[in-house]
Structure 1
Amino acid sequence: MSTNINNNGLPNIDDLQLLANELFKALPNEFPKEISLSPDKSEHPRAAKLAETILHTGSSDSLNQVPLAVPSNVQPAQHSFSGFGVSPSVIDYGNTGASVLYPNAGAGFDPQSENYSKGIHDNQNLNLNNPQTGFYDINLNNGTPQLNEESIFSSIALNNQYLPFQTESSSFEIELQTALASVDTQFRKRVDFPFNGNETAAAYYFLEQNPFAFDRRSSNIIVGNSFDTKEIPLFKATHFDAALVKKDFPILNETVNGKPLVWFDNAATTQKPKSVIDRIAYFYEHENSNIHRAAHELAARASDAYEAAREKVKTFLNANSVNEIVFVRGATEGINLVASTWGEHNLSSGDEIIVSNLEHHANIVPWKRLADKKGLKLRVIPVDDDGQILLDEYAKLLNSKTRLVAFTQVSNALGTVTPAKKIVEMAHAAGAKVLIDGAQSVSHMKVDVQHLNPDWLVFSGHKLFGPTGIGALYGKENLLNEMEPYQSGGNMIQDVTFEEIKYHKAPNRFEAGTGNIADAIGLGAAIDYVSKLGIEAIGQYEHFLLEYATRLLKEIPGVRLIGTAKDKASVLSFNLQGYSNDQVGQALNREGVAVRTGHHCAQPILRRMGVETTVRPSLAFYNTTEDVDTFIKTLWELKKVKF
């Protein structure tokens, strides 16, 4: 709304009062719904200052934005790419990675800077209007002027939790924040977290949610046929609001059978944030070309973006060099690549390969086929009744004939986290090479190949919130260069004559033909997203959610949990007495809850646990306690019907 200016240069008091009343109607019930700004009224003497502040920042929509002192040389761009730290609903200052609410989101990531080489864990700012957290992508920078940090960044101090329209020097807003801090607003409950016994979670009082608020509420736990409120022990973790993060994933707005989708099939595949979707679309709209061998502009753009994605994978895994990162279709192809190249040329009759009882078929079948073909012996590390690796039994398997140990870091069927570093050390002590299947681990925990020291590690992009049909094989550079090519064709050769062929070194020697360029770039965007949130924060939140769901699931009579290792990632496998697994899956689907039923391509471990199939809900950071409650309530309803 506009206001009239009176003779002394101040806004008209009636207009201010009208605007202030509109604001106070939206405030919690503790505040009056109508006030007067006339001099003889004193209900809220500071409200005039509040209204004046809002007027100076624009319309009432300014409640969702932060006024910025934008340099005169920065012009808003005509396009907006949500997913690169820029919300379509707010002003776009070019491809700087900045947003109006948090203009330093993505800023400062010069590829030559120290921050860029360290990764992106240090910058946790989010855009609350569109909280996609992909960080600044150097391939989208077309020379846009940089924002003036002194004039813009000083208006936001996330660590001090300023109000959306507050500046550091405004005593009125500071006083208002202090007043609101003592009130339980209608937007969210305030919860005390036991960091040092007296700190309180920050709140964004005029916004729906706080992006760093950890979902740690007491839960309604069903006991018998009624709800009984029990206190869930507080879990010390980084603030993390999954409900806010969920807004980044368009598919999670879907309904199934008229119910909101609850995606509990993350071990099979994860959903994709809009930043990944937009990045792939941007490639096809602006960069689409084959890579490496053309002199034109689009080839340069595509090549730069593709190799930048390789750099992101290298940083994500903490590899020594980009030459240690080979793009493949996924973890399965990565394992087959090693089996078909190193295995074919280095293993001979009588040699032994060790795998664990926890393995996915993708880490069993290639080695079994190779063993059958070459006369090798396949040996298996046993697990206990909880699904934990028995290291003492593993030690007994190692001998001078052991040439390779291939094992999973996290079981896809049970969620067991294996003692990966110890397994690697023991194998190397015996003179064996090691391959780690990281398909289920990279989305839940920090995977550092220099720390773990495997010879190879594989993972799939679609389990890391990236596209399908893309993944990566990490291999030590010298070892990769010693391996024979996996496939032959263009892109992997230095020179070809009818007499002699010279191959590139890694990684090109393993990337024959036209690769999955767009999805490799999409994988880079997914890594941006995960790294922006922080893999440690993700892991802590998911651990809390797993404990929450496990406790509730164990309350249900007739539930048998399959896999109860002390160290687990976010997988819950179970059977429900009186029902087939398909019946349970169908009942959950009617409530919009997506789970996996079956053998999960891990038949040996399920048979070890005495079952053929399980129901497998698997969790990710965009799942919430409310999602878990829906899942648990459905299982209780099944029990009521049956018994």
Structure 2
Amino acid sequence: MYDVNEIRGDFPILSREVNGKPLVYLDNGASAQKPKVVIDAISRAYGEEYANVHRGLHYLSNLATEKYEGTRGIIAKFLGVKDEDEIVMNTGTTMGINTVAYGWAMPRMQAGDEIILSVMEHHANIVPWHFLRERQGVVIKWVDVDSTGYLDPQAVIDAITPNTKLIAITHLSNVLGTVVDVKTIVDAAHDKGVAVLVDGSQAAVHMPVNVDALGCDFYAITGHKLYGPSASGAIFMKKERMAEMEPFIGGGDMIREVHKDEITWNDPPMKFEAGTPGIVQQIGLGVALEYMMSLGMENIAAHEKKLRDYARTRLDGLNWLQVQGTTPDKAAIFSFTLDGAGHAHDISTILDKKGVAVRAGHHCAGPLMDHLGVTATCRASFGLYNTEEEVDVLVDALELAHDLFA
């Protein structure tokens, strides 16, 4: 049984008040809160078990290494990846995508070569490709969404030309909640010899993901959205892609031998993990993923689907609220503007007075804001611990904001 009230008891911060009101935390799309098991694991790792990993032979180093490397296997299990050596641990999706941009794309792409992006992409999946556009003349091709926020996979496939080398696509939009049919895109792209990178930062939070079944070449996740620590995360990279890649950052752990006139690289995944890693952060991420799997990703998805449907019904009743993204199977993410409000920041400030935490701004999705014709939106993004009662609090706070702006 999925008992959301019992689950809420696992998250200490959810019992606090903000501005004299019970906290209603609806900023999960930016960062999720942390369960006590994660907080305790971090405290224990620093207070009782800390040492550097891989190079020590003493007890604490061996223990830290065992727990750190154990996270690699947990991530592989969470993502449905059979070979944990295809998991490169890092600080999150931004680092993962940059690793691919510098290590795989930059050495093999020339002026005129193409990268296909959707207009929904987060800046983390845009800016690294602009580096290649500016420095090497790579062409970025954009695929739009329709008026509901739906991305037609065929539109992405139709954008492929003989010059296309990579498709970099989100699995789930952080603004619209749109779920993208990446499997169809991957299959067609591979038939044409095109690699596919998937930004899984949001999708991995809200639904079961099986990367091996998707067949993509790269799949990136971020720990702080997955109820884990900030500065934790990973990217899946197919072994054949790893073999084509150069290291992105040089330093300890990613080398086998260093001499005055010669360097040899370590085997993947260590080849792409330079320097002392975020040991405690990754240990915390492993505990967070085990916590999610103990609840069941199918159960989390079902709970959030109910929240989505309830929130959609309540928000649709506000005829002065414009929700961006209305695909039927979207995630429980609602970005909106409000008639009469000067700016999304004004709305969020009023909601905050009622204890409701939402995100306001462009959500690191500038091209999408341009496509929608807005400068900013408010975003209420739901997680595994949110409730229908919190939806009601959100609606009450929005009605107050409307009354103030009317």
Q: State TM-score, norm by structure 1.
A: 0.62
SS in 2 for 1:267: coil
- Aligned residue-pair number: 405
Is 1:457 matched up with 2:233? no
Which structure has the higher relative contact order (CA within 8 Å, separation 6+)?
2
Is 1:433 matched up with 2:159? no
Match of 1:598 in 2: 361
The CA distance in 2 between the partners of 1:391 and 1:520, in whole Å, is 34
1:442-591 equivalences in 2 (<5 Å): 442-580=204-342, 581-591=344-354
Match of 1:619 in 2: 382
SS in 2 for 1:514: coil
SS in 2 for 1:638: helix
State which of 294, 303, 306 in structure 1 corresponds to 2:68. Answer: 306
SS in 1 for 2:140: strand
Matched to 1:579, the amino acid is: A
Match of 1:252 in 2: 14
Return the offset for 1:449. Answer: 0.8
SS in 1 for 2:53: coil
SS in 2 for 1:287: coil
Match of 2:34 in 1: 272
Is 1:381 matched up with 2:160? no
State which of 376, 393, 397 in structure 2 corresponds to 1:630. Answer: 393
Return the offset for 1:641. Answer: 4.2
The CA distance in 1 between the partners of 2:242 and 2:56, in whole Å, is 27
Return the offset for 1:314. Answer: 0.9
The CA distance in 2 between the partners of 1:317 and 1:609, in whole Å, is 32
The CA distance in 1 between the partners of 2:136 and 2:155, in whole Å, is 26
State which of 398, 402, 405 in structure 2 corresponds to 1:639. Answer: 402
SS in 2 for 1:443: helix
The CA distance in 1 between the partners of 2:388 and 2:66, in whole Å, is 41
Match of 2:49 in 1: 287
Return the offset for 1:400. Answer: 1.3
The CA distance in 1 between the partners of 2:76 and 2:153, in whole Å, is 30
Return the offset for 1:642. Answer: 4.5
Q: Show CA shifts across 1:584-603 (max 9, x none).
A: 11111001000001110101
Match of 1:119 in 2: none
Contact 2:30/2:225 (8 A) holds in 1: yes
Contact 1:243/1:623 (8 A) holds in 2: no
Larger Rg belongs to: 1
Return the offset for 1:395. Answer: 2.7
1:160-309 equivalences in 2 (<5 Å): 212=1, 240-309=2-71
Match of 1:125 in 2: none
The CA distance in 2 between the partners of 1:621 and 1:573, in whole Å, is 18
The CA distance in 1 between the partners of 2:241 and 2:339, in whole Å, is 50
CA-based RMSD: 1.1
SS in 2 for 1:636: helix
- Identical-residue share of aligned pairs (%): 42
Q: Show CA shifts across 1:311-362 (max 9, x none).
A: 1001111112121111111101100110011011111122111011110011
Q: Show CA shifts across 1:472-529 (max 9, x none).
A: 0110123213311111111111111112111111111111110000010000000010
Q: Show CA shifts across 1:181-203 (max 9, x none).
A: xxxxxxxxxxxxxxxxxxxxxxx
Q: State TM-score, norm by structure 2.
A: 0.98
Contact 1:599/1:612 (8 A) holds in 2: yes
Contact 1:249/1:273 (8 A) holds in 2: yes
Contact 1:330/1:458 (8 A) holds in 2: yes
The CA distance in 2 between the partners of 1:513 and 1:566, in whole Å, is 45
State which of 417, 428, 432 in structure 1 corresponds to 2:179. Answer: 417
SS in 1 for 2:400: helix
Gaps of 5+ in 2: none
SS in 1 for 2:220: strand
Contact 1:273/1:465 (8 A) holds in 2: yes
Matched to 1:446, the amino acid is: P
SS in 2 for 1:293: coil
SS in 2 for 1:585: helix
Contact 2:153/2:182 (8 A) holds in 1: no
The CA distance in 2 between the partners of 1:509 and 1:462, in whole Å, is 24
The CA distance in 1 between the partners of 2:61 and 2:359, in whole Å, is 41
SS in 2 for 1:442: helix
The CA distance in 2 between the partners of 1:480 and 1:288, in whole Å, is 31
SS in 1 for 2:284: helix
The CA distance in 1 between the partners of 2:109 and 2:402, in whole Å, is 53
Matched to 2:252, the amino acid is: G
More helix by share: 2
The CA distance in 1 between the partners of 2:326 and 2:276, in whole Å, is 44
Contact 2:177/2:333 (8 A) holds in 1: yes
Match of 2:371 in 1: 608
Matched to 2:387, the amino acid is: T
Match of 1:325 in 2: 87
More strand by share: 2
User: Which deviates the most, 543-552 or 390-399?
Assistant: 390-399
The CA distance in 2 between the partners of 1:495 and 1:638, in whole Å, is 63
Contact 1:309/1:521 (8 A) holds in 2: yes
1:322-361 equivalences in 2 (<5 Å): 322-361=84-123
Return the offset for 1:604. Answer: 1.0
SS in 1 for 2:167: strand
SS in 1 for 2:111: coil
